[in-house]
Amino acid sequence: MELSVIIPIYNEEANIAELYQRLLGVLEPMALPGGFELVFVNDGSRDQSLPLLLNLAARDERVRYIDFSRNFGHQIAVTAGLDRSQGEAVVIIDADLQDPPELIPLLYQKMHEGFEVVYAKRRSRQGDSAAKKLTARVFYRLLARITSVSIPVDTGDFRIISRKVVDGLRLMPEQNKFIRGQISWIGYRQTFIEYDRAGRGGGETGYTYRKMLRFALDGITAFSDVPLKAATLMGFTVSGVAFLVGIYTLYARFFTRDYEPGWASLMVSILFLGGVQLISVGIIGEYIARLSANVRQRPLYLISNTNTASLPSPPAH
């Protein structure tokens, strides 16, 4: 198998037919020696996505599907696709036509110039709300500042990766997936091409703000300890200030004798200290929650039905 295309599906009934046609429209003319497969991962859709996929699979043997037992989330859906795709090269693409399938030949060609990863970087971004664009912009720049692996900014999961990279990803068992970060961590030669991102073909986003926040925290906690260190730094700073204020208080009490009851300053410092402590505990909590999720070692996903075969795990390096 030369090429696998992994497509996570969550309530995409409005896009599946067009997506399938456009994928065939670019993949068939490529005349790939070993052929290609389309791996659709149905992530607990509540609409007619599954019947549409089953129908495609019945007509076209290049169509593979993995049907989850419930909604596990976009990153886990892609992970399942990676676990069960056979291609020497693997493309990850959104189902909503925001990632143009027409870019695949270019990604493929660029890979054969000697790269293991070619990601597609958004030059512009249509259709998403202003709030989404702004939060994404801020998030990617913040992440770039606080991580030591360089995760490209303004880049989603739309990319082509080689079998080597797929094997690398399959060796990373973490529960809280941030695949674009993991791929940067893996290394090898990586490059990018730029494109203008369109709006959704149809349907609506499956990423609520809640899911986006969780995703952002997964990215940060998996690739940076800076928030923990910032909590420590914040603690020292506040203690330092408190120490100076303490000295001043003693001085005022014993040497000047013009001290006031001081309700306002007392309230302000109590509230401020309480806030700092809660933030620090919260930051630690975010890390501990992820630690405990990994300790439980639950399977990442459960499959209800599929026409894909499970593959042996890659050799450990």
Site string for ligand UDP, 17-46 (x = CB under 6 A): --------------------------x---
Both ends of the chain: CA-CA distance in Å? 24
DSSP letter at 34 equals T
Q: Residue 179 interacts with ligand UDP (CB under 6 A)?
A: no
Binding mask 114-133 for Mg ion (x = CB under 5 A): --------------------
Q: What residues between 230 and 249 interact with Mg ion by CB under 5 A?
A: none
What mask, x for binding ligand UDP by CB under 6 A, covers residues 43 to 82? x---------------------------x-xx--x-----
How near is the Cβ of 211 to ligand UDP at its closest, in Å? 6
Separation in Å, CA 95 to CA 68, 146, 152, 178, 252: 16, 31, 22, 19, 68
Contacts of residue 57, defined as CB under 8 A and 6 or more positions apart, other chains included, come to 63, 64, 65, 307
Give whichever of 95 and 160 is closer to ligand UDP, judged by the CB atom.
95
Q: Work out whether 99 is an interface residue with Mg ion (CB under 5 A).
A: no
**Structure-token match 């986003």, residue found:** 205
Q: Does 75 bind Mg ion (CB under 5 A)?
A: no
Cβ–Cβ under 8 Å, residues 9 and 40:
yes
Q: Is 98 in the site for ligand UDP (CB under 6 A)?
A: yes
Per DSSP, helices labelled H in the chain are 16-27, 49-59, 74-83, 104-111, 130-146, 163-170, 179-186, 209-223, 226-251, 263-296
| 218 belongs to the binding site for ligand UDP (CB under 6 A) | no
Give the binding range for Mg ion (CB under 5 A) out of 7-15, 22-30, 97-105, 235-243.
Answer: 97-105
Residue found by looking up tokens 């290049």 in the block: 62
List the interface residues with ligand UDP, window 264-303 (CB under 6 A).
Answer: none
183-to-156, 198, 236 alpha-carbon distances in Å: 12, 24, 36
The contact set with ligand UDP (CB under 6 A) reads 8-10, 12, 43, 71, 73-74, 77, 94-96, 98, 205-207
